[in-house]
Structure 1
Amino acid sequence: MNFSQILSILAARKGILSWVFLVTVTTTIIISLVLPKTYTATASLVIDSKGADPVTGFMLPATLMPGYMATQVDIIQSHNVALKVVDKLDVASSPLAKSQFEKATKGEGDIRDWYADLFLQNLDVHPSRESSVIEISYKGADPKFAASLANAFAQAYINTNLQLKIEPAKQAAIWFDQEIKGLRQNVEIAQQKLSAYQKEHGIASSDDRLDIETGRLNELSNQLVMAQAQTYDSTSRHSQLKRGVESEAPEVLANSLIQGLKSQLAQAQNKLMDVSQHLGNNHPQYQAAQAEVTNLRNLINAETAKTSSSVGQTARVSKQREGEIKAALAAQKEHVLKFKSERDEMAVLLREAESAQRIYDNALLRFGQTNMESKSGQTNIAILNPAVPPIKHSSPRITLNIFLSIILGMLLGTGIAIASEVLDRRVRSAEDLAQLIDLPMLADLNNTAKNAAGVLSKLRQIFKKKPSSEHTIPKYQLFAK
């Protein structure tokens, strides 16, 4: 079925098309006039999601903005917000509301939940795509009631948003308050342990005794090195004295008294040689000179023995001093190690006290912050435009309904006309006849200009003079149409 056939069908069945069209438009107009008028009141809210929180200083990232706005829309349309609206309007105590609830539910369920769901059915929330504005619309038969419901939902949403922000902070503040008590006890216990340990071992926090004791240890170590060198030197000289001639020892040669006695001995020996050349052995001068030489030799030997003995005594003293320094050094090492161990243990206790104090300070800081958040009455939502009672109704839209009914009536009329033609198919054009008898079409009298007019006039004359049978006339009529 082509377009020309459809046009011919619509032209033939224009009565059905007109009837369906008029019925559709008339019905739409009547229904639009009969339907109760509905008023839509809209309240606009602005959400400052890009600003920093006044307490925490937190700023919402730009990437989370779409999800944040969608979350706010879900909160507005939540059952919790609707319950706040019901409580704000005090619907549950209204006798009329109770009677409507009893009539609708027969007393089953909660009146608050029922009205909350009923209010949500007429609520419409539209977030802006490129701004932070949300529009809350409510539809109702009474414009004042619709405006009050829209404003009530806006205020309930602000209160719910503030509650969702405050309640976690309150719970956190309560938890921090309980935990801070235990953290304070931990700090006190750690401080007591540290103070008791310092008092027991006599260590102060700013004590520099470790440096002093370490300096003493280094000093003893240096003294031990010097004592060992001195002991080695004195022992070596004493050994040389024992192995060699004492008179040739460096200590003896360096002794001025011995060298002076040796000089006197040389002079006495020269004097004895001179006396022995002139006097005999029994001469008093000879004996006096010989006695002087003997006396000087005894003095030299005594001083040499004394010097050798002093070297040995020095070696023994050096060894004894070395031993004492070694013992003092070992004792000082043990004292320093013990003091280091005490300081290390005190450092552990000090770190524990500092850690407990740091945890307590952080918890106290978070407690103060959450406590401020729990008492904060500020929110990032503000009412931009409160809802006012609308003057004109939002539905039914008579003009729009008539326009749509015209389109619908034309579509329905066309569909019904075509359906009627399908049920009762008739020949309305040359194409229909060609399809019906399945033969090629030789000529179309409707589309022939002058020849067709002449042929038709002749056919009419023939039919007037000689009428044909009932089966013949419709065929000519079909061709003459």
Structure 2
Amino acid sequence: MRLAEFLVLLRARWKCAALVWLAVVVVVGAVTWLRTPEYTATAAVVLDVKSPDPIAGVVLPGMTVSSYMGTQLSVVQSERVALRVVQSLGLEQDASLRAAWQEATGGKGSFSSWLVAGLLRKLDATPTRDSNMITISYTAADAERAADVVNAWVRAYIDTTLELRVQPARQYSGFFDAHGKQLREELEQAQARLSSYQRRNGLVATDERVDVENQRLAELSSQLVALQGQADESAGRLRQSTAHPDQMPEVLANPVIGAMTTELARYEAQQRELGTRLGANHPEMRELAGKIAELRRRVTAETRRVAEGIAVNHSVNRERLGQTIAAIDAQRAKLLRLKAQRDEAGVLERDVENARRAYDAVLAKASQASVESHATQTNVSVLKQATPPPTPSSPRTVLNMAVAVIVGVLLALATALMRELRDRRVRTTADVLQGLRQPLLGVLPGHAHRQRRGVEGRGARWAAQIAAGPAHGLRSLPQQEGSHS
């Protein structure tokens, strides 16, 4: 349908369209006028998610994720917060509300749950885009009541947030206290075992004592090496004393043997000198022979005594060597025993240290949990308190009437179009050509104004008769506005 045809249609059906438009405007106006005014109070809170926790000293990772704001919105609209609002406002003692609950539910269910459901239906909590602010709104028939409910809701939300933080800390504090007592008992038992073991084995500083014993073993090892050298040397001299005692350094260096050897040489020289003049049986020769024999005996005896001294020295060296070896073996056994004691004491010391670290860690956690359990601040701050709104939020008279006018116009146009489609009329020459599918012979003079207004009733029947007439041999004449054909 072209615009010109639609305008002709609307001109013909204007009374119906006007009636529909007027009915829509009147109905919307009446509903708006009769509707009870409602007031919406609004408060705003801001969440600090970037500042470090004052107790832990770090930014909690859960506060930086995108789901944190969604979680807080769920907390705001939770039944737990709503119950706090009901208790703070004393709604459970309101007789009118209890009567309404009796009438609505017949006394079935929980009165508090019914109040909570009613509050949540009129509550709206929305986050501000690209920020950490939450806007809380409540709608009621009384402006003062709406503001009181919103402010109570903000206080209940802050208290619930603090409780959600403090309650786990209190539970953890009790757990850490009980576990800390157990760990302290274990630490005391470990320290008692270590002290008992040290007293039983005479240990004060195991590492220092082991170092002293290691030094003593090193000294004994040095003595063993020296004694082995001395024993080898004394063994060589003992063998020499057995084979060639007169060539021993001790014999050659002995002054007594040296004097007797010198004297023996002098007597032997005299014996050789007198032997050239006197015979062997001469008294002087015999006297010299006796002296020489005595000196030789004495030199042999003295040499034997020196050799016996070397044997005794070798025996002493061997005995000292054996004693040193035995002392080294005993020192080694003692050192191994001390190392075993040190290892066992080290195990006990590690048990004490582990028990102390576990106790210190639990003690630190218990201290932190105790501080958190007494916290009075949250990361939620009130940015805007709710005040009684001066104007109602609904109904919006101007908006409703504007919408009613627009909707009325659309419904009026739709009604006129639907009536035209159900009751089709010939209103223009195009309707004759397209609707009747007959050639148009002409337009009678004096009816041009009726064509513009639309031909109805008799005009339609006349146009049909003209179109149905004999068309053979007729020729359509040129048409001009206001001309005859």
Taking structure 1 as the reference length, the TM-score comes to 0.88
Quickly say closer, same or farther: Cα 1:469–1:283, change in 2 above 3 A. closer
Pairing of 1:24-35 with structure 2 (within 5 A): 24-35=24-35
Q: 1:140 to 1:295 in 2, by over 3 A?
A: same
1:57 alignment partner AA: G
Q: Is the 8 A contact 1:41 1:390 kept in 2?
A: yes
Q: 1:151 to 1:185 in 2, by over 3 A?
A: same
> 1:330 corresponds to which letter in structure 2?
D
In the TM superposition, what whole-angstrom CA distance separates every residue of 1:344-369 from its partner, at most 9, and x where no partner exists? 11111111112112211221221121
Counterpart of 2:475?
A: none
Letter in 2 for 1:419: M
Q: Counterparts of 1:118-137 in structure 2 under 5 Å? A: 118-137=118-137
Letter in 1 for 2:81: V
Alpha-carbon deviation of 1:252? 3.5
Task: Identify the residue that residue 220 of structure 1 maps to in structure 2.
Answer: 220
Report the counterpart of residue 96 of structure 2 in structure 1: 96
- Aligned-partner Cα distance in 2 for 1:373–1:205: 43
Letter in 2 for 1:268: Y
Q: Distance in 2 between matches of 1:17 and 1:236?
A: 148
**1:324-353 Cα distance to aligned partner (Å, 9 max, x none):** 111111111111111111111111111111
Q: Which residue does the alignment assign to 1:287?
A: 286
Residues 323 and 4 (structure 1), Cα distance of their counterparts in 2 relative to 1, 3 Å cut: farther
Hey, what does 1:380 align to over in structure 2?
379
Sort the Cα spacing of 1:6 and 1:315 in 2 relative to 1 into closer, same or farther, 3 A: farther
Q: CA separation of 1:193/1:433 partners in 2, compared to 1, >3 Å: closer, same or farther?
A: farther
Q: Which moved more, 1:272-281 or 1:168-177?
A: 272-281
User: What letter is aligned with 2:185?
Assistant: Q
> Structure 1 residues 310-319 or 74-83, which shifts more?
310-319
Deviations 1:355-403 (A, max 9, x none): 1122112212211211121112112222222111111000111111122
**Larger displacement relative to structure 2 (266-275 or 101-110):** 266-275
The gaps in structure 2 that reach 5 residues or longer are 449-457, 469-478
Identity of aligned residues (%): 36
Map residues 214-253 of structure 1 onto 2, 5 A cutoff: 214-242=214-242, 244-253=243-252
Is this contact kept in 2: 1:49–1:65, CA < 8 A?
A: no
- Report what 2:257 is aligned to: 258
* 1:469–1:391 Cα change, 3 Å: closer
Equivalent AA in structure 2 for residue 335 of structure 1: K
Pick closer, same or farther for the CA change 1:334–1:17 going to 2, 3 Å. same
1:157 equivalent in structure 2? 157
Do the aligned partners of 2:191 and 2:352 also contact (CA within 8 Å) in 1?
A: yes
| Cα RMSD for the two superposed structures | 2.9
Tell me whether 369-378 or 296-305 shows the greater mean CA deviation.
296-305
Per-residue CA deviations over 1:148-186 (Å, capped at 9, x if unaligned) read: 111111111011011101110111111112212211211
Describe the SS at the equivalent of 1:208.
Answer: helix
Aligned equivalents of 1:232 and 1:3: distance in 2?
139
Give the secondary-structure state (helix, strand or coil) at the position aligned to 1:49: coil
Give secondary structure in 2 for the equivalent of 1:278: coil
SS at match of 1:88: helix
SS at match of 1:422: helix
Residue matched to 2:452: none
1:355 equivalent in structure 2: 354
1:330-345 to 2 correspondences below 5 Å: 330-345=329-344
- C-alpha distance in 1, partners of 2:257/2:407? 151
**Change in 2 beyond 3 A, CA 1:121/1:266:** same
SS of the aligned residue for 1:390 comes to: coil
Change (3 A) 1:311 1:116: same
SS in structure 2 of the partner of residue 388 of structure 1: coil
Q: Secondary structure at the match of 1:51?
A: coil
CA distance, structure 2, for counterparts of residue 469 and residue 305 of structure 1: 180
Corresponding letter in the other structure for 1:346: A
Aligned to 2:296: 297
Aligned to 1:408: 407
**Paired residue type of 1:154:** V
SS at match of 2:66: helix
User: Residue 44 of structure 2 corresponds to which residue in structure 1?
Assistant: 44
Q: Distance in 1 between matches of 2:463 and 2:427?
A: 16
Cα 1:469/1:313, change in 2 over 3 Å: closer
1:75-112 alpha-carbon deviations (Å, 9 max, x no partner): 11001110111111111112112111111111011111
- 1:265-280 correspondence runs (5 A): 265-280=264-279
Give the deviation of 1:407 after TM superposition.
2.1
Letter in 2 for 1:349: L
What is the CA-CA distance between 1:281 and the residue it aligns to? 2.9
Contact 1:47/1:382 (<8 A) preserved: yes
- Structure 2 CA distance, aligned partners of 1:386 and 1:19? 49
* Distance (Å, rounded) in 1 between the aligned partners of 2:459 and 2:341: 139
Q: Tell me the distance in 2 between the aligned counterparts of 1:459 and 1:146.
A: 68
Distance in 1 of aligned mates of 2:190 and 2:149? 60
Does residue 111 of structure 2 align to residue 111 of structure 1?
yes
- Compute the displacement of 1:269 (Å): 1.5
Offset, 1:256: 4.6
| Matched letter for residue 90 of structure 2 | D
